[in-house]
């Protein structure tokens, strides 16, 4: 387990901006500066430096070193001003936390500042509101990031640990009961399995998934309203089939698009309608599936026809949420391109074919991006999770050594710490109770 | 009108430790109990210690408590459990003579200055402005005290079940405390119900031991009290009596299966929760139907060995059915029951209504200890009694309470679990509950606690001197080992390589040898360079200290990784409403538990790290 008293975090708002800042505070700061930038820096001076990632330049950054106690937290600190791109900032934080620091908890910089008498209570309390709010989003993020594959793996891992611990602990706590004695072999096999699972999780968690969080758009609407055309003009290519016959697009097709500074994924779908045509039916099934995975929906209508009752019905029927409405083909009406906000959605008036008003759509998209907090906290929560998994794997190697020497109590101790690391990912610390529950349901204990 | 400093109600394990601790601390103390003859009675099986429990007993002993000394003096059979699994999880278990235990306990209490013993049943507490000032006996007498400690065990609203019969009782042969319970109900204390049970007792002469496995004391005769192992005090060992082991079988189980409707545990007569780790034989048979047999320890009840305690078949079936299933068991074919087994339901107080000092939040100067706080077991009760005795005395002297920490002792783990988590089933100590298990060993309870106890005044001068002598010996031996060097090219070095596969890279002393390898003290004592030493007991302690040192550091790191400032105190009158940004849920929980420090706060189910940060900031005010 690494030294816990140097902390790091991205300290500017998430998303794309001119500049993003990574802050580090604690006793490893000067070591880190030396390692990253090759020499010591004069306090309070700005240096232009390059940061490397896998031997390639990641970014050119401005670095400022603050010597304690003359810093925000009162400890040695360093600020790295990079380009305000989340991928870059996350990578920099990653580099730092893989060796020199751990991720800061919400409000931890301020907490340190306060405890070192750098700020007064009033200031601290105004920050405390912030902590309280990030508390809620942190809780949400734990929940969001725990859906899907990752959480499945964590739960499997926890069950394996519970199984192993209940075997170890029952043999320690109830030696007089007739619990089947476990031999070294069994424990060894369990450890080997655990190790494999830890490694699997690490590879899932680190291969891109974490950094490639992007908003998923799905474009839907009745046939022929110009969905494919809209996407094409966004893509600026003619790669998708554009045709004048109703029901051309039958599959959902996904594209990754860079808009200004950020990346989104956008999915074209088959037109929504009730159909008997088997192939189209299949297309509609796919649309449903895409909708269920979407973060945002662009609901396209023909401006000539407008947003009608039957559109409302479709939205209800397909349970479409988080949508904006695109009024396409305004060229035919001589309407002006614009955004019009209503209670439930933003309406964007544009012409896909003539590429008029696309900038309004982009504006809406970048608003989405900036306000997507859960995206931010998911990434951050994941980082903490990965940190725990890595620490767990390290402990596992130590545990193995104790098992080889059959030091049961030390072995038990390592496995307990691993269990705690894993279950704190799920946010549940009641490991003793869970383990006792397992013992008492698996074994007949007690005289 | 009688006036005391400390009034203790109940002469069970909690009451004995509470009253003796208060008296040792110089308080004028009275122990009031229903029947003075039953002071020190072991209501269930006559054994003290076992995994987790002997750890508590050692700690009580390190604070000069009674349970370990009394158990040692009454021992019929002694065993070390887990001897191969590591020092920290190793435990001592002592089978005692029930009669000797009771007598020795009564003798010990009679020998304590400042302590009066008084026979009466208490029916109510006297209180004014939410401060307890005394007690009222059934006969209407009043006895006043500056602190009151309640330790009435299973007696509050006790109800015994045997088969389809049930009746009110405190335990077999004793009345329950009904009036006292209604006092607390009126005061709206949070009261819950739990249950426990006990097996029938068998006339020893009716058992055929011939074919049964016999279990004698371990040859090294392990002790519970430091006085008798590390400190070298001597006493008269009583005659040893072995235990035996037998098993239930399929016919036993079949019989029990047909009686499901007549077991109050399963026919709905008993609804309260019992301990999962101490199931009745009905439970075992119904829940683990795949098991073909269950182990039974046949334990002698007394030195005369008139009765035997069949450990493992606690039951609430009717006496007739108990008789029937006993007869199916090897060795018990002609068994005669001397007392039927039974289940007992009783009331307990939600321990979250207590401060960590064991003082109640509702009534100042009133302390609760023992089974009434939802625990089970003699050692658990005794540990709380001791702590309540200490804190009741400190309160009178206007001093801060002593709150043992989780890092320092099992007593700390016990108290912290109780007051922050509450209980859902009778709480028993397991070593798994202690996150500092490697630190909290049987061999070092005195180094952890005796000095604290001496400063508090609960440890007598005599014991203090004995302890200091041991500490000196440890220091000397440690230093001695440091001075014995082994050269890389010496004969000893070669020997080490041959015997233990150890390759010395640098000159090393014996202390380092113990640190870096699997070599035991015994091993090094056989080396030629070792020389002569005082005492191998001391040597083992020295070796343990060295062995565990590195590990303890890692545990400290771990504690830091998960959170920091655990020990920072939160005053009991701290105003949580003034913290900005707390969620309602967090606020409610904090106000209910009133945690004593940040660590406790963080262990309350549902409290997040962000809440702790807010709390930490608010505390610095
Ligand atoms: C049937 C039974 C089975 C048990 N089984 C187990 C087991 O399997 N394993 C285990 O670890 N533990 C078991 N126990 C628990 C163990 O006996 C207790 O945990 C322990 O004795 C509790 O100690 P105590 O001091 O809190 O209370 P007790 O030992 O019950 O002592 C209570 C004392 O208070 C006195 N008293 C009560 N009411 C009043 C009053 N109104 N006025 C004055 N004095 C009063 C009583 O006379 C008694 O001396 C069992 C207990 C019982 C009764
Ligand atoms: N005048 C005008 N025509 C447009 C505009 N956008 C699309 N069209 C035309 O509308 C027709 C349908 O366009 P598509 O993009 O294929 O429509 P779609 O919604 O993808 O249709 P399906 O995939 O079949 O559901 C084509 O003939 C396009 O040229 C526009 O902005 N103005
Ligand atoms: Mg299309």
Q: Which of B210-224, B227-241, B594-608 has the lowest mean pLDDT?
A: B594-608
Q: Does B294 touch chain A (CB under 8 A)?
A: yes
What is the position in ligand 2's atom list of the atom closest to the CA of A242? 16
pLDDT confidence bin for B258, thresholds 50/70/90 = very high
Range of the domain at A171: 125-211+379-426
Distance CA(B63)–CA(B58), nearest Å, equals 9
Position A440 in a domain: no
**Residue where a domain terminates, one of A372, A389, A418:** A372
Q: Does the beta-carbon distance from A409 to B86 stay under 8 Å? A: yes
* Beta carbon of B44 within 6 Å of any ligand 1 atom: yes
Average pLDDT, chain A: 79
Q: Does the beta-carbon distance from A132 to B583 stay under 8 Å? A: yes
**Residue where a domain terminates, one of B563, B579, B602:** B563
Do residues B231 and B263 share a domain?
A: yes
Apex CA B379: angle with CA B374 and CA B383, to 5°? 80
- Ligand at shortest distance from the CA of A351: 2
Count CB neighbours of A130 within 10 A: 13
- Give the CATH number of the domain where residue B48 resides: 3.50.50.60
Do residues B16 and B63 share a domain?
A: yes
Per residue in B545-564, pLDDT (tens digit) is 888 887 787 777 766 655 55
Neighboring chain A residues of B376 at a CB cutoff of 8 Å: none
pLDDT of residue B484 exceeding 90, the answer is no
pLDDT confidence bin for A93, thresholds 50/70/90 = confident
pLDDT of residue A5 exceeding 60, the answer is yes
- Backbone φ and ψ of A36, nearest 5°: -80, -40
pLDDT of residue A207 exceeding 60, the answer is no
Do residues B125 and B223 share a domain?
A: no
Range of the domain at B275: 201-345
* Beta carbon of B386 within 6 Å of any ligand 1 atom: no
pLDDT of residue B315 exceeding 90, the answer is yes
The three-state secondary structure class of B486 is strand
> How many folded domains does chain A comprise?
3
Position B189 in a domain: no
Per residue in A108-130, pLDDT (tens digit) is 787 788 778 777 655 665 555 44
Q: Does A139 touch chain B (CB under 8 A)?
A: yes
Q: Given this model, what pLDDT does residue B94 score?
A: 96
Q: Given this model, what pLDDT does residue B53 score?
A: 96
Q: Does the beta-carbon distance from A4 to B616 stay under 8 Å? A: no
B325 closest CA partner among B399, B423, B254, B223:
B254
Q: Does A4 touch chain B (CB under 8 A)?
A: yes
Q: Which of A201-210, A400-409, B230-239 has the lowest mean pLDDT?
A: A201-210
> How many folded domains does chain B comprise?
4
Query: Phi/psi class of residue B398: alpha, beta or left (left: φ > 0; alpha: ψ in -120 to 50)?
Result: left
Q: Does the beta-carbon distance from A446 to B275 stay under 8 Å? A: yes
What residues line ligand 2, using a CB cutoff of 6 Å? A 221, 223-229, 242-244, 246-249, 270-271, 328-329, 331-332, 351-354
Question: What is the pLDDT averaged over residues B34-45?
Answer: 91
Question: What is the pLDDT averaged over residues A423-445?
Answer: 77
The DSSP code sequence of B282-319 is: HHHHHHTTT-S--EEEEEESSTT--EEEEET----S-H
**Residue B219 CB contacts under 8 Å (≥ 6 apart), including other chains:** none
Q: Does the beta-carbon distance from A407 to B86 stay under 8 Å? A: yes
Q: Given this model, what pLDDT does residue A209 score?
A: 42
- Give the CATH number of the domain where residue A342 resides: 3.40.50.300
pLDDT of residue B191 exceeding 50, the answer is yes
| CA contacts within 13 A on the Cβ side of B149 | 43
Question: What is the pLDDT averaged over residues B527-547?
Answer: 79
B222 closest CA partner among B96, B91, B97:
B91
Q: Given this model, what pLDDT does residue A106 score?
A: 64
B119 closest CA partner among B105, B103, B137:
B137
Neighboring chain B residues of A161 at a CB cutoff of 8 Å: none
pLDDT of residue A274 exceeding 80, the answer is no
B136 closest CA partner among B128, B145, B125:
B125
Q: Given this model, what pLDDT does residue A1 score?
A: 32
Neighboring chain A residues of B617 at a CB cutoff of 8 Å: 111, 114, 121, 124-125, 128
Q: Given this model, what pLDDT does residue A407 score?
A: 84
Distance CA(B335)–CA(B205), nearest Å, equals 8
pLDDT confidence bin for B14, thresholds 50/70/90 = very high
Do residues B498 and B471 share a domain?
A: yes
CA torsion through residues A300, A301, A302, A303, sign: negative
Distance CA(B293)–CA(B309), nearest Å, equals 19
- Give the CATH number of the domain where residue B588 resides: 1.10.150.570
Q: Given this model, what pLDDT does residue B442 score?
A: 93
* Beta carbon of B198 within 6 Å of any ligand 1 atom: yes
First to last CA, chain A: 40
Per residue in B388-421, pLDDT (tens digit) is 999 999 999 999 999 999 989 999 999 999 999 9
Neighboring chain B residues of A121 at a CB cutoff of 8 Å: 617, 620-621
Do residues A27 and A78 share a domain?
A: yes
Distance CA(B328)–CA(B332), nearest Å, equals 7
Do residues B21 and B127 share a domain?
A: yes
Do residues B341 and B351 share a domain?
A: no
Query: Phi/psi class of residue A54: alpha, beta or left (left: φ > 0; alpha: ψ in -120 to 50)?
Result: left
Distance CA(A88)–CA(A24), nearest Å, equals 16
Do residues B145 and B131 share a domain?
A: yes
Q: Given this model, what pLDDT does residue A331 score?
A: 93
Looking at beta carbons, which pairs linking B602-606 to residues 24 or more positions away fall under 8 Å?
B602/B563, B602/B566, B603/A429, B603/B416, B603/B420, B603/B421, B604/B420, B604/B421, B605/A430, B605/B421
Position B259 in a domain: yes
Q: Does B167 touch chain A (CB under 8 A)?
A: no
In A28-127, which ranges are E strands? Answer: 46-53, 56-66, 77-84, 102-103
The three-state secondary structure class of A8 is strand
pLDDT of residue A139 exceeding 60, the answer is no
Do residues A220 and A368 share a domain?
A: yes
pLDDT confidence bin for B24, thresholds 50/70/90 = very high
Do residues B124 and B261 share a domain?
A: no
Do residues A137 and A112 share a domain?
A: no
Q: Of A116, A137, A141, A176, which to mutate for an interface test with B (greatest number of B Cβ within 10 Å)? A: A176
Do residues B93 and B149 share a domain?
A: yes
Neighboring chain B residues of A422 at a CB cutoff of 8 Å: none
Question: What is the pLDDT averaged over residues B519-544?
Answer: 79
pLDDT of residue A188 exceeding 80, the answer is yes
> How close A368 gets to chain B, by Cα (Å)?
27
The three-state secondary structure class of B394 is helix
Give the burial string for A71-89 (b: 16+ CB within 10 Å, else e).
bbbbbbbbbbbbbbbbbbb
Average pLDDT, chain B: 90
Per residue in B89-146, pLDDT (tens digit) is 999 999 999 999 999 999 999 999 999 999 999 999 999 999 999 999 999 999 999 9
Per residue in A277-325, pLDDT (tens digit) is 666 677 778 888 888 878 889 999 999 999 999 999 999 988 888 899 9
Distance CA(B100)–CA(B593), nearest Å, equals 41
Which three-class secondary structure string do you get for A321-380? CCEEEEEECHHHCCCCCEEEECCCCEEEECECCCCECHHHHHHHHHHHHHHCHHHHHHHH
Question: What is the pLDDT averaged over residues A10-20?
Answer: 68
Q: Which of A246-250, A387-391, B172-176 has the lowest mean pLDDT?
A: A246-250
Q: Does the beta-carbon distance from B85 to A408 stay under 8 Å? A: yes
Do residues A221 and A295 share a domain?
A: yes
Q: Does A111 touch chain B (CB under 8 A)?
A: yes
Position A396 in a domain: yes
Do residues A203 and A241 share a domain?
A: no
Q: Greater confidence, B175 or B434? A: B434
Q: What is the pTM of this model?
A: 0.75
From A121, A131, A410, residue closest to B581, measured CB to CB: A131
pLDDT of residue B291 exceeding 70, the answer is yes
Q: Does B461 touch chain A (CB under 8 A)?
A: no
**Residue where a domain terminates, one of A62, A97, A119:** A119
Do residues B540 and B583 share a domain?
A: no
Q: Greater confidence, A368 or B464? A: B464
Q: Given this model, what pLDDT does residue B74 score?
A: 97
Position A444 in a domain: no
**Residue where a domain terminates, one of B563, B582, B601:** B563
Question: What is the pLDDT averaged over residues B490-504?
Answer: 82
Q: Given this model, what pLDDT does residue A126 score?
A: 54
pLDDT confidence bin for B323, thresholds 50/70/90 = very high
Are the C-beta atoms of A358 and A68 separated by less than 8 Å?
Answer: no
Are the C-beta atoms of B341 and B200 separated by less than 8 Å?
Answer: yes
Per residue in A28-54, pLDDT (tens digit) is 999 999 999 888 899 999 999 988 877
- Bridge-based pairing state of the strands A323-328 and A346-349: parallel
- Give the CATH number of the domain where residue B338 resides: 2.40.30.260
Q: Determine the distance separating the centroid of ligand 3 and the alpha carbon of A344, expressed in angstroms.
A: 25
Q: Greater confidence, A72 or B250? A: B250
Q: Does the beta-carbon distance from A174 to B617 stay under 8 Å? A: no
Do residues B24 and B141 share a domain?
A: yes
Per residue in A344-380, pLDDT (tens digit) is 889 999 999 999 999 899 888 878 766 654 444 344 4
- Bridge-based pairing state of the strands B165-168 and B159-162: antiparallel
Per residue in A372-399, pLDDT (tens digit) is 544 443 444 456 677 788 889 999 999 9
Are the C-beta atoms of B215 and B244 separated by less than 8 Å?
Answer: yes
Query: Phi/psi class of residue A72: alpha, beta or left (left: φ > 0; alpha: ψ in -120 to 50)?
Result: alpha
Question: What is the pLDDT averaged over residues A196-202?
Answer: 86
pLDDT confidence bin for B265, thresholds 50/70/90 = confident
The three-state secondary structure class of B409 is coil
Q: Given this model, what pLDDT does residue A262 score?
A: 60
Q: Given this model, what pLDDT does residue A379 score?
A: 44
Do residues B221 and B341 share a domain?
A: yes
Q: Does B608 touch chain A (CB under 8 A)?
A: yes
pLDDT of residue A190 exceeding 60, the answer is yes
Distance CA(B209)–CA(B204), nearest Å, equals 9
């Amino acid at each position: 387990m690494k030294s816990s008293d140097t902390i790091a975090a991205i300290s500017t708002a998430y998303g794309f901006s001119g500049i993003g800042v990574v802050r580090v505070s604690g006793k490893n700061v000067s070591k880190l500066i030396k390692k990253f930038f090759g020499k010591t820096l004069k306090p309070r001076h700005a240096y232009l430096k390059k940061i490397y990632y896998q031997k390639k330049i990641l970014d050119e950054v401005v670095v400022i070193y603050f010597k304690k106690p003359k810093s925000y937290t009162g400890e040695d600190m360093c600020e790295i001003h990079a380009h305000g791109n989340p991928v870059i900032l996350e990578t920099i934080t990653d580099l730092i936390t893989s060796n020199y620091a751990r991720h800061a908890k919400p409000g931890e910089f301020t907490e340190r500042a306060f405890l070192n008498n750098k700020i007064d209570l009033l200031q601290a309390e105004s920050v405390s509101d912030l902590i309280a709010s990030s508390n809620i989003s942190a809780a949400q993020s734990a929940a969001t990031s725990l859906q899907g594959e990752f959480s499945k793996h964590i739960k499997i891992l926890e069950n394996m640990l519970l199984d192993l611990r209940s075997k170890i602990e029952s043999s320690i706590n109830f030696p007089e009961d007739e619990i089947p004695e476990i031999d070294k072999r069994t424990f060894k096999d369990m450890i080997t399995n655990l190790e494999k699972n830890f490694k699997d999780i690490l590879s899932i968690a680190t291969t891109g998934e974490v950094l490639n969080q992007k908003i998923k758009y799905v474009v839907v609407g009745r046939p022929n309203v110009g969905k494919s055309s809209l996407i094409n003009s966004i893509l600026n290519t003619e790669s998708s089939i554009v045709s004048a016959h109703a029901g051309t697009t039958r599959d959902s097709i996904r594209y990754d698009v860079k808009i200004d500074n950020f990346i989104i994924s956008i999915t074209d779908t088959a037109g929504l309608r009730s159909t008997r045509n088997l192939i189209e039916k299949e297309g509609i099934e796919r649309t449903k599936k895409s909708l269920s995975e979407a973060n945002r929906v662009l609901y396209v209508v023909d401006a000539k026809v407008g947003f009608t009752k039957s559109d409302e019905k479709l939205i209800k029927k397909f349970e479409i949420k988080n949508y904006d409405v695109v009024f396409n083909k305004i060229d035919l009406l001589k309407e002006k391109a614009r955004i019009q906000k209503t209670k439930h959605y933003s309406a964007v008036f544009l012409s896909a074919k003539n590429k008029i008003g696309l900038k309004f759509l982009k504006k809406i998209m970048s608003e989405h991006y900036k306000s997507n907090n859960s995206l931010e906290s998911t990434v951050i929560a994941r980082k903490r999770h990965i940190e725990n998994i890595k620490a767990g794997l390290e402990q596992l190697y130590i545990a193995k050594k104790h098992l080889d020497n059959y030091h049961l109590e030390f072995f038990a101790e390592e496995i307990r710490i691993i269990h705690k690391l894993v279950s704190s990912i799920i946010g549940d610390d009641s490991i003793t109770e869970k383990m006792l529950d397992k013992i008492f349901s698996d074994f007949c204990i007690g005289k | 009108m009688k006036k005391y400093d400390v009034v203790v109600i109940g002469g069970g394990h909690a009451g004995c430790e509470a009253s003796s601790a208060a008296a040792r601390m110089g308080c004028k103390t009275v122990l009031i109990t229903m029947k003075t003859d039953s002071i020190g009675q072991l209501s269930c099986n006559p054994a003290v210690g076992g995994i987790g429990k002997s750890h508590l007993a050692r700690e009580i002993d390190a604070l000069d408590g009674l349970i370990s000394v009394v158990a040692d003096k009454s021992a019929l059979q002694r065993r070390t459990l887990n001897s191969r699994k590591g020092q920290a999880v190793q435990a001592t278990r002592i089978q005692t003579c029930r009669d000797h235990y009771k007598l020795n306990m009564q003798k010990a209490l009679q020998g304590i200055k400042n302590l009066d013993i008084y026979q009466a049943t208490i029916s109510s507490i006297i209180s004014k402005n939410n401060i307890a000032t005394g007690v009222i006996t059934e006969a209407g007498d009043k006895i006043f005290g500056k602190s009151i400690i309640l330790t009435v065990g299973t007696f509050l609203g006790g109800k015994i079940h045997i088969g389809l019969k049930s009746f009110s009782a405190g335990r077999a042969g004793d009345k329950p405390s009904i009036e006292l319970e209604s006092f607390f109900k009126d005061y709206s204390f949070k009261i819950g119900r739990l249950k426990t049970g006990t097996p029938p007792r068998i006339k020893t002469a009716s058992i055929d031991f011939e074919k049964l496995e016999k279990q004698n004391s371990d040859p090294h005769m392990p002790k519970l009290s430091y006085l008798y192992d590390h400190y070298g005090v001597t006493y008269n060992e009583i005659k040893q009596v072995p235990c035996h082991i037998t098993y239930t079988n399929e016919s036993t189980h079949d019989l029990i299966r047909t009686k499901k409707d007549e077991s109050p545990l399963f026919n709905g007569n008993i609804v309260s929760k019992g301990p999962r780790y101490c199931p009745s034989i009905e439970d075992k048979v119904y829940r683990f139907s795949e098991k073909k047999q269950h182990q039974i320890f046949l334990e002698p009840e007394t030195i005369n060995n008139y009765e035997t305690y069949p450990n493992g078949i606690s039951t609430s079936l009717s006496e007739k059915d108990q008789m029937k299933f006993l007869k199916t068991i090897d060795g018990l074919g002609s068994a005669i029951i001397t007392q039927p087994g039974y289940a007992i339901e009783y009331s307990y107080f939600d321990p979250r209504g207590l401060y960590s000092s064991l003082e109640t939040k509702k009534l100042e100067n009133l302390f609760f200890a023992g089974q009434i706080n939802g625990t089970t077991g003699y050692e658990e009760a005794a540990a709380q009694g001791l702590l309540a005795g200490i804190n009741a005395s400190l309160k009178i002297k206007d001093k801060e309470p002593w709150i043992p920490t989780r890092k320092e002792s099992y007593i700390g783990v016990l108290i912290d679990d109780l007051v922050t988590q509450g209980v859902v089933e009778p709480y028993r100590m397991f070593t798994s509950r202690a996150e500092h298990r490697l630190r909290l060993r049987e061999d070092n309870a005195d180094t952890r606690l005796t000095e604290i106890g001496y400063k508090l005044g609960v440890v007598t001068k005599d014991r203090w001197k004995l302890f200091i002598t041991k500490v000196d010996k440890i220091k000397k031996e440690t230093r001695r080992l440091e001075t014995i060097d082994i050269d890389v090219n010496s004969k000893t070095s070669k020997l080490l390589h041959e015997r233990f596969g150890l390759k010395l890279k640098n000159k090393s002393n014996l202390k380092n040898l113990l640190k870096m390898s699997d070599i035991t003290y015994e091993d090094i004592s056989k080396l030629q360079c070792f020389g002569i030493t005082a005492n191998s007991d001391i040597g083992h302690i020295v070796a343990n200290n060295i062995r565990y040192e590195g590990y303890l550091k890692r545990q400290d790191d771990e504690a830091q990784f998960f959170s920091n400032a655990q020990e920072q105190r939160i005053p009991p009158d701290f105003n949580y409403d003034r913290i900005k940004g707390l969620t309602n849920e967090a606020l409610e929980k904090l106000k209910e538990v009133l945690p004593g420090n940040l660590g406790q706060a963080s262990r309350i189910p549902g409290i997040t790290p962000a809440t702790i940060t807010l709390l930490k900031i608010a505390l610095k005010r």
